[in-house]
Amino acid sequence: MKYRITVLPGDGIGPDVMAEGVKVLQAVGRKFGHSFKLEYELIGAVAIDKTESALPEETLAMCKRSDAVMLAAVGDPRYDDPKLPVHPEDGLLALRKGLGLFANLRPVRVFDELVNASTLKPEVLQGTDFVFVRELTGGVYFAKPKKEWVTSRGRKATDSMTYSEQEIERIIRVGFELARARKKRLVSVDKANVLKSSRLWRQVAVEVSRDYPDVALSHVLVDACAMQLIRTPAMFDVIVTENLFGDILSDEAAQLAGSMGMLPSASLSGIPVAGKRTFGLYEPIHGSAPTIAGKDIANPIATILSVAMMLRHSLALDSEAAAVEQAAESVLKHGYRTDDIMAPESTRVGTRQMGDLIAARI
């Protein structure tokens, strides 16, 4: 079978790690007899440089014609000044909205081999394996009004944390579907003691739970969750939450895995169901790390594990996905480490060699 994939290397280390993701994808193609048609497009600072837009129309159009999208990273210090009219990150936000990618999945798994790489005690991390489900196209990121204005007593600015029941329902269903296929425990995170949008969130979660009697739903306040994530991380199975809470908590949780360089993500436009193909965008959760760009230092594993998520969720190629994950794990087991996860008695390798080692094990 032939699959069309849009490839968006983006900025900084983006091209470095994307090359390794593509390398592993092609190894999968050879081994399992698939053909992947890769189409490279611009996003982020490189797109602004060439087109003055962080998300050129062509890029969005190409993504829409694809079976899935691979993205590496956006962001460039040259465009950091908030006063500039356009920022690389705007491209990412526009892409999420333009493709309707409402469901962001971030698995957090602490590999036994890396249990010492985190700032948390190994005994606390033992057995940590959960999935964050973050709502990605609603809430305070996108809702209107979102503006700054001047009053007689100075400037004011507002953002709106607004949710409709449809927006909440579909993301809660994603949480339940994933939990059903895992340990059947769903934690919904909100701030229902203060926010109206959280009260609606909680009500809808309870309503949807009637369709999933086999899954245990519980509610945790966002501040308590920030604490539990580092107190008892192994107790979580699936966590579902709104856009901003998900941004904060999933980055906190990333710290458990020792390095951002290890964690993949999927952003889907539908509810994932095992064996069915759902359109999505796949990216490592780390940023563009401009200071190490082009130096063969960056860890490509997050991008490679994102390829595995793409194979599973958008192409319904489960064995292929598992092959990629096993290859990455085996390379870690054999002691190979990039700079960010280096440990005594391990073998330090660069970006390209890490990609080669994993591709060779497919």
Question: Which one from 112, 129, 247, 356 is the annotated catalytic residue?
Answer: 247
Radius of gyration, alpha carbons of the chain: 20
Window of 14-22, 87-95, 171-179, 297-305 that interacts with ligand IPM by CB under 6 A = 87-95
* Residues 193-252, interacting with ligand IPM (CB under 6 A): 193-194, 223, 247
Does 296 engage in binding with a copy of itself (CB under 8 A)?
Answer: no
CB of 218 vs a copy of itself, minimal distance in Å: 13
Active-site entry in 90, 129, 159, 251: 251
Interacting residues of 239 by C-beta distance below 8 A, sequence separation 6+? 130, 131, 132, 133, 175, 186, 187, 188, 189, 225, 249
Of a copy of itself, ligand IPM, none, which one does residue 254 interact with (CB within 5 to 8 Å by kind)?
a copy of itself
**Which helix H or strand E contains 91, and what residues bound it?**
helix 88-98
User: Which letter does DSSP use for residue 252 in this model?
Assistant: H
According to the binding rule CB under 8 A, does residue 226 interact with a copy of itself?
yes
> Is-catalytic flag, 211?
no
| Residues 6+ away with beta carbon under 8 Å from 87 | 54, 79, 80
Cα–Cα distance between 361 and 357 in angstroms, integer? 7
Residue 191 appears among annotated catalytic residues: yes
Binder among 26, 255, 269, 353 for a copy of itself (CB under 8 A): 255
Q: Which CB, 26 or 255, lies closer to a copy of itself?
A: 255
Q: Verify cis geometry, omega within 30 degrees of 0, for the bond prior to 264.
A: no
Spatial CA neighbour of 93 closest among 138, 26, 33: 138
Specify the DSSP class assigned to residue 10.
E
Q: Which stretch binds ligand IPM (CB under 6 A): 33-41, 77-85, 89-97, 301-309?
A: 89-97
Task: Give the interface with ligand IPM as residue ranges (CB under 6 A).
Answer: 89, 92-93, 193-194, 223, 247
List active site positions. 141, 191, 223, 247, 251
Residues at the annotated binding site? 96, 106, 134, 223, 247, 251, 287-299
